[in-house]
A and B are shown apart, each in its own frame.
Chain A
């Protein structure tokens, strides 16, 4: 059997399968253990009877069961912070589990292993890890330091939207069940900053680089050498992603191989025996892994590197795929939750792709008369790209087309840069002058690397965004890739590969060509405190009203929620983006939308305020046709009629609005067959009064409640005129404004409206064919149906 070449691969696969399925297996551990014992018994019996195939199957089943058992989390200890009752504000003590991440001058993220909770004057012992965001200037603290601080603690909350990233699940895998926020001036260091040596080395390396190179180049070198990416400006990271070379900024097998081969090169020139060299190289790898930290890619590369060195030491032949499988087993045994991490999946998929596909691809390319120096890198690039494509699509909806070519240029430059960088850092420990000369020699290379990435990222179509593939498509793709190297040997293999590829193609094209169902769909996305509403017409037109909160200094809803949601639709362009008014909880996320999607028209109220510069520039650059709307305008979008009800144009745009920006909100009314919807932005009482005085056509079936349910909106008189059957409140959970207010909820109930809230219901989806209206609460998955036909109504 071929399995003898890499006997650990099926075992690793089975264990991973067990961990992946554990979420759906609700049986208690003891029953799993019984099943395991049974499987063990049957396997032994099969082995005794000489049925090796059956015994193999039994063994794999055993591995699956072990994976499931490993992934079931242990019950929390009784003093875990998640099991301890506490008030809304707590005072805690604990040790910093990692270096603080400074997002901006006044926003810092800390990871704290708690040990004490202050309860009045007593200090209770607690345990558990929390993630904390501090606002304000955080005093200099570092890993390992004990601190005390005052916090608001709460369970993490996800935005519940179709196809959204499950943030709480991600934190749970990291062992974080509660997140906190607080003011930086409440932080008190209880011990001196005395970091363990790896942290000290890392700090020294970062500050040395920054001392010799200009900021952006220093940040790039930090990424190349140490995987330290926080210093890199956002536009540079974006360029690396578009060019498909972001992986060089993470520490991976690339760095480990360079480090090991540098050690080998130096020591063998000095005539040191091979075995001693292998031991020294191994020590260097372990030290390096300690310094750069415990990301999956580092651990994977270190484990594999050590295995290969061990093979060298024992004069055994090494089998790469087997080493990779052992690395999977070790990592999953240690941290089973990593299986779901993009970093883990990307690292292992890329390595497996290279090991499995690069040799046959190289042979094939050389057969096509490619020169050897080009064929090998090309095959490596193709193999890695083919293997990581499903992972990238599932997590990021990204496929970098330029990546295959860009890697050929960028990877060799990065290799030289990394080697020179390591040399420069080592020199800096001895002589600052000599190190400076090396750093200056490195600078043009770093600039050239950035220039290559910049050019690659600018190529039109460098990156395409596709919907996440279905499980069937991923499975078919994996089958095709696994069988690809044996294509020439058997007929049935050729047939299977062809069928799988056809399946992948068909499943990928289907969402684009699927016929529409003749329905109008309105999605009120859960974007926290803010608005973002997508209207989709059966003819294919799409209108996005507002973009939720966003911007540089905080979570950008446009990037995190709107873009993935639209890509998974799948959507590449929006016919209209409308901004009701420029407040940041409506305009912040639009910058990301306008830069990532083709937008035909941009509707606005013509007023921009300080703080929306980035959004305004994105509008100007998007090439969208801009319209400033005033009441009375009627616009057709496909078969839907949109009527503008506000602003009425009586207040010049250059003057500050006398009643505040909210009263200048665009108010849009949408009519389609028997369905009508009123979108009021943040309109408050004065604006509502004006609409009523003007006899604007406000009566509507569905109402987006004004200003997130603020008590100064949705007055009784206005609701009497609208008579909404359905009211949707777009509001963030635990927002600091107290929205929606009980007054408004009471008024809506009195008006007889069914109330839907994005903070509790997640995304709210209205779907109608003009006769019935179905309303989906995404968080609970419940669907309600309303009859729109007045003849049948009762």
Chain B
């Protein structure tokens, strides 16, 4: 008695696949970071960023006369860097915005957030009920880690 050979082979193959799958599943659940790293083995990390060179202060459009004028004394590079840093567009209200109660229009006024992203944030809020931390915004399309970091000081989550 027993299974015929071909059927036995097929069933064994299926069992082997299932066992492998279950094993990999366990491992991925246990070491998610390592799994993610492993999957990126052939990916390249982005190169180190080159810091932005502060633009020289707005000069009048070039004209031959300007070249003859003596160059103004240049401030030290560090000061220039600070003064040339683009000031983040300050929100009208200095108090952080409560993401759990704000309207689409209010959210859209935050720096780096437009109407469509604001709409998606509100959609996400309706989906999950309420945000228990600003980190919950992660994963919304168009809201990368950089933008999130910039947003964090402008928002809060209320009850």
Chain A residues in 8 Å Cβ range of B17: 420, 438, 441
Chain A interface, >50% SS class: helix
Chain B residues in 8 Å Cβ range of A477: none
Q: How far apart sit A712 and B67, CA to CA, in the bound complex (Å)? A: 13
User: Using an 8 Å CB-CB cutoff, how does the interface string of B11-23 with A read, 1 for contact, 0 for none?
Assistant: 0000001101110
Q: How far apart sit A228 and B59, CA to CA, in the bound complex (Å)? A: 50
Contact between A447 and B53, CB atoms less than 8 A apart:
no
Q: Which residue of A lies closest to B6 (CB)?
A: A269
Contact between B39 and A216, CB atoms less than 8 A apart:
yes
A398 within 8 A of B: no
Q: How far apart sit A576 and B35, CA to CA, in the bound complex (Å)? A: 43
User: Using an 8 Å CB-CB cutoff, how does the interface string of A655-690 with B read, 1 for contact, 0 for none?
Assistant: 111111100000000000000000000001110010
Within 8 A of B (CB), among A205-227: 214-217
B-contacting 9-mer, from A612-620, A625-633, A728-736, A769-777: A612-620
21 A-B interface contacts by CB (under 8 A): A214-B35, A215-B39, A216-B43, A236-B42, A437-B18, A437-B21, A437-B25, A438-B18, A440-B24, A440-B25, A441-B17, A441-B21, A450-B42, A607-B53, A610-B49, A610-B53, A654-B77, A656-B55, A659-B59, A659-B62, A685-B62
Question: CB within 8 A of A686: which of B20, B22, B62, B114?
Answer: B62
Given contacts A610-B51, A613-B49, A614-B47, contact A437 B22 (CB under 8 A): yes
Question: CB within 8 A of A139: which of B18, B21, B116?
Answer: B116
Chain B interface, >50% SS class: loop
Within 8 A of B (CB), among A418-458: 420, 436-444, 447, 450-451, 454
Q: How far apart sit A614 and B45, CA to CA, in the bound complex (Å)? A: 11
Given contacts A436-B25, A658-B71, contact A447 B56 (CB under 8 A): no
Chain A residues in 8 Å Cβ range of B48: 613
Contact between B24 and A608, CB atoms less than 8 A apart:
no
Within 8 A of B (CB), among A349-392: none
Number of interface residues of B (CB under 8 A): 44
Contact between B80 and A214, CB atoms less than 8 A apart:
no
Minimum CB–CB distance from A153 to chain B (whole Å) comes to: 25
Contact between B50 and A447, CB atoms less than 8 A apart:
no
Contact between B50 and A616, CB atoms less than 8 A apart:
yes
Minimum CB–CB distance from A355 to chain B (whole Å) comes to: 31
Q: How far apart sit A438 and B47, CA to CA, in the bound complex (Å)? A: 36
Q: How far apart sit A411 and B12, CA to CA, in the bound complex (Å)? A: 24
B159 within 8 A of A: no
Q: How far apart sit A152 and B17, CA to CA, in the bound complex (Å)? A: 54
Minimum CB–CB distance from B68 to chain A (whole Å) comes to: 9
Q: How far apart sit A216 and B62, CA to CA, in the bound complex (Å)? A: 50
B30 within 8 A of A: no
Minimum CB–CB distance from B113 to chain A (whole Å) comes to: 12
Contact between A235 and B43, CB atoms less than 8 A apart:
yes
B74 within 8 A of A: yes
A751 within 8 A of B: no
Chain B residues in 8 Å Cβ range of A654: 77
Q: How far apart sit A239 and B41, CA to CA, in the bound complex (Å)? A: 13
Contact between B43 and A441, CB atoms less than 8 A apart:
no
Contact between A217 and B47, CB atoms less than 8 A apart:
no
B52 within 8 A of A: yes
B38 within 8 A of A: yes
Given contacts A438-B21, A441-B18, A689-B64, contact A610 B42 (CB under 8 A): no
Q: Which residue of A lies closest to B44 (CB)?
A: A235
B85 within 8 A of A: no
A746 within 8 A of B: no
Q: How far apart sit A106 and B81, CA to CA, in the bound complex (Å)? A: 30
Question: CB within 8 A of A185: which of B21, B50, B116?
Answer: B116
Q: How far apart sit A656 and B56, CA to CA, in the bound complex (Å)? A: 7
Chain A residues in 8 Å Cβ range of B94: none
User: Using an 8 Å CB-CB cutoff, how does the interface string of B62-96 with A read, 1 for contact, 0 for none?
Assistant: 11101100010010010010000000000000000
Contact between B64 and A685, CB atoms less than 8 A apart:
yes
Contact between B36 and A214, CB atoms less than 8 A apart:
yes
Minimum CB–CB distance from B40 to chain A (whole Å) comes to: 6
Within 8 A of B (CB), among A121-145: 137, 139
Chain B residues in 8 Å Cβ range of A37: none
Within 8 A of B (CB), among A686-730: 686, 689, 712, 715
Q: Which residue of B lies closest to A663 (CB)?
A: B62
B112 within 8 A of A: no
Q: How far apart sit A661 and B63, CA to CA, in the bound complex (Å)? A: 17
A49 within 8 A of B: no
Chain A residues in 8 Å Cβ range of B28: 440, 443
Further 6 A-B residue pairs, CB within 8 A, beyond A611-B50, A659-B56, A689-B64: A216-B42, A450-B41, A613-B46, A656-B77, A684-B62, A685-B63
Chain B residues in 8 Å Cβ range of A437: 18, 21-22, 25
Minimum CB–CB distance from B149 to chain A (whole Å) comes to: 17
A233 within 8 A of B: yes
Chain B residues in 8 Å Cβ range of A614: 47
Question: Top 3 closest A-B pairs, CB basis?
Answer: A441-B21, A214-B39, A437-B21
Q: Which residue of B lies closest to A437 (CB)?
A: B21
Given contacts A439-B21, A440-B22, A441-B20, contact A617 B54 (CB under 8 A): no
Contact between A689 and B22, CB atoms less than 8 A apart:
no
A514 within 8 A of B: no
A105 within 8 A of B: yes
Q: Which residue of B lies closest to A655 (CB)?
A: B77
A76 within 8 A of B: no
Q: How far apart sit A420 and B116, CA to CA, in the bound complex (Å)? A: 40
A505 within 8 A of B: no
Max count, chain A CB within 10 A of own CB: residue among B52, B56, B59, B141: B56
Minimum CB–CB distance from A412 to chain B (whole Å) comes to: 16
Chain A residues in 8 Å Cβ range of B22: 437, 440
Contact between A617 and B47, CB atoms less than 8 A apart:
yes
